[in-house]
Amino acid sequence: MNKGKLIVFSAPSGSGKTTIVKHLLGQEDLNLEFSISAASRAPRGEEVHGKDYYFISLEEFKKHIKAEDFLEWEEVYRDNFYGTLKSEIERIWALGKNVIFDIDVVGGLRIKHKFPEETLAVFVKPPSVDELKRRLKQRSTESEDKINMRIAKASVELATAPQFDVIIKNYDLPVALEEAHQLVKDFISKK
pLDDT per residue as tens digits for the range 28-39: 999 999 999 999
Residue 63 lies in a domain: yes
User: Residues 4-16: what's their mean pLDDT?
Assistant: 90
Residue 1 lies in a domain: no
Higher pLDDT among residues 8 and 45, named by residue: 8
Residue 57 lies in a domain: yes
In tens, the pLDDT along 48-105 reads 999 989 999 999 999 999 999 999 998 877 889 999 999 999 999 999 999 999 998 9
Q: Given this model, what pLDDT does residue 69 score?
A: 97
* 125, β-bridge pairs: 169
Residue 53 lies in a domain: yes
Confirm or deny that 133 is annotated as ligand binding.
Answer: no
* Euclidean distance between CA atoms 62 and 123, whole angstroms: 28
**132: CATH:** 3.40.50.300
Dihedral angle computed from the Cα positions of residues 39, 94, 189 and 53, in that order, rounded to the nearest 10 degrees:
-10
Residue 128 lies in a domain: yes
The residue ranges of DSSP E strands in the chain, in sequence order, are 6-10, 32-34, 37-39, 53-55, 70-77, 80-85, 98-102, 119-125, 166-169
Confirm or deny that 11 is annotated as ligand binding.
Answer: yes
Confirm or deny that 174 is annotated as ligand binding.
Answer: no
Q: Considering its fold, how many domains does the chain have in total?
A: 1
Confirm or deny that 83 is annotated as ligand binding.
Answer: no
Residue 14 lies in a domain: yes
Confirm or deny that 126 is annotated as ligand binding.
Answer: no
* Euclidean distance between CA atoms 85 and 90, whole angstroms: 9
Q: Given this model, what pLDDT does residue 2 score?
A: 61
Residue 25 lies in a domain: yes
54 lies in which domain range?
6-189
Whole-number percent of the chain with pLDDT over 90 = 65
Residue 12 lies in a domain: yes
Confirm or deny that 114 is annotated as ligand binding.
Answer: no
Q: Given this model, what pLDDT does residue 141 score?
A: 72
pLDDT at 147 over 90: no
